[in-house]
């Protein structure tokens, strides 16, 4: 969960990362709960060791941007992730991007854009999210980086959010493009991609006014996320379905879904998300803790 990832950046935890007996149970716990980010940090630990021993500046900056995203999701207000690394010229995202641009580090730019996209989307900053998604895409090369799947997912969801607030056909076209990508990817791994495809389709139907189909797809997205233990994406599906229900006047269902979304984010340890306005008036008793599918 996010707490493990945040611990990774603490000085004492760096040494634990090199003890196999400590790595295995933590990694397994994250995989069981559908969190794949922490196993990636096993690789990042070696990256950071390179930073500490050999002063690889671009790798250090990539770590800074990732740390900043984790700090924001975890809700560590006032904690400056850039202060943990000694570099007088790079103290925030803008400095990091300026360095990457002037030195031609396209991979570094992609990492920064990707991390900012994740934080912006989950906190509902959709204008920033789509800006980061498009800048990320402009830096992509022929090969597909590992973060491209998540970025395509969030870009599509952001596009559908903008399509409902702006009368511009390009957003529907962009969201539909993301659906087509996940349709092709789901053929190879339904476990990893089905829930994301269902949620994208639900948002598309919502935009087109096909509300019955949208409800079915939201339900499928929640059930698939729960079955495959993607707790953060289960929370996201519940949150978006809750917003849909509120727009349709189904207020009791909205409250139930938002309570479940809040509990999923809490399990993910994204405490920063719990401070969003949409969760402030949610009655805790409205969520029964059931992990099965919700009735429509």
Between 106-122 and 126-138, two packed helices, what is the crossing angle to 10 degrees? 160
Is residue 231 domain-resident? yes
User: Per-residue pLDDT tens for 175-217?
Assistant: 999 999 999 999 998 999 999 999 999 999 999 999 999 999 9
Closest of 160, 167, 236, 144 to residue 195, by C-alpha: 236
Looking at the structure, tell me whether residues 81 and 41 fall in a common domain: no
Q: Is the pLDDT of residue 15 over 50?
A: no
Q: Is the pLDDT of residue 30 over 90?
A: no
Q: Is the pLDDT of residue 174 over 80?
A: yes
Q: Is the pLDDT of residue 10 over 50?
A: no
Is residue 164 domain-resident? no
Is residue 165 domain-resident? no
Q: Compute the 3-state secondary structure of the chain and give helix, strand, coil in percent, each to the nearest 5.
A: 75, 0, 25
Q: Which of 123, 143, 159 is the last residue before a domain boundary?
A: 159
Q: Is the pLDDT of residue 22 over 50?
A: no
Q: Which of 16, 37, 55 is the last residue before a domain boundary?
A: 55
Looking at the structure, tell me whether residues 197 and 150 fall in a common domain: no
State what percent of residues in the chain have pLDDT above 90.
45
The structural domain count of the chain equals: 3
44, 63 contact by CB (below 8 A): yes
Q: Is the pLDDT of residue 168 over 90?
A: no
For residue 182, the model assigns a pLDDT of: 95
Q: Which domain holds residue 126?
A: 58-159
Q: Model pTM?
A: 0.76
User: Per-residue pLDDT tens for 72-106?
Assistant: 888 865 566 566 554 557 777 788 888 888 888 88
Looking at the structure, tell me whether residues 145 and 82 fall in a common domain: yes
Looking at the structure, tell me whether residues 29 and 74 fall in a common domain: no
Looking at the structure, tell me whether residues 20 and 64 fall in a common domain: no
User: 55 exposed, middle or buried (CB, 10 Å; 0-12, 13-18, 19+)?
Assistant: exposed
- Cα–Cα distance between 145 and 34 in angstroms, integer? 20
Q: Which of 16, 36, 55 is the last residue before a domain boundary?
A: 55
Beta carbons within 8 Å of 294's beta carbon, 6+ residues apart: 219, 222, 241, 253, 256, 257, 260
Q: Is the pLDDT of residue 267 over 50?
A: yes
């Amino acid at each position: 969960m996010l707490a493990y990832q945040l611990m990774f950046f603490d000085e004492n935890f760096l040494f634990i990362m090199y003890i196999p007996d400590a790595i295995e149970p933590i990694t397994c716990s994250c995989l069981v709960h559908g969190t794949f980010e922490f196993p990636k940090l096993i690789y990042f630990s070696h990256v950071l060791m390179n930073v500490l021993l050999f002063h690889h500046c671009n790798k250090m900056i990539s770590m800074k941007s990732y740390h900043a995203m984790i700090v924001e999701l975890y809700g560590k207000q006032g904690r400056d992730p850039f202060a943990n690394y000694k570099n007088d010229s790079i103290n925030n995202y803008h400095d990091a991007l300026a360095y990457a641009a002037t030195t031609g580090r396209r991979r570094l730019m992609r990492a920064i854009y990707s991390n900012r996209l994740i934080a912006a989307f989950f906190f509902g900053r959709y204008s920033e999210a789509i800006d980061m998604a498009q800048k990320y895409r402009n830096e992509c090369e022929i090969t597909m980086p590992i973060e491209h799947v998540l970025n395509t997912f969030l870009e599509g969801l952001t596009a559908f959010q903008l399509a409902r607030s702006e009368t511009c056909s390009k957003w529907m076209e962009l969201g539909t493009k993301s659906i087509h990508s996940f349709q092709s990817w789901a053929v190879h791994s339904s476990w990893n991609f089905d829930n994301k495809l269902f949620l994208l389709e639900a948002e598309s139907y919502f935009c087109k006014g096909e509300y019955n189909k949208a409800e079915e797809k939201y339900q499928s997205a929640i059930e698939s996320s729960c079955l495959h233990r993607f707790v953060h994406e289960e929370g996201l599906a519940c949150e978006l379905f809750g917003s849909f229900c509120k727009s349709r006047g189904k207020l009791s269902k909205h409250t139930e879904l938002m309570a479940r979304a809040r509990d999923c984010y809490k399990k993910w340890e994204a405490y920063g998300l719990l401070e969003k306005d949409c969760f402030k008036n949610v009655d805790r008793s409205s969520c029964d803790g059931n992990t099965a599918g919700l009735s429509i």
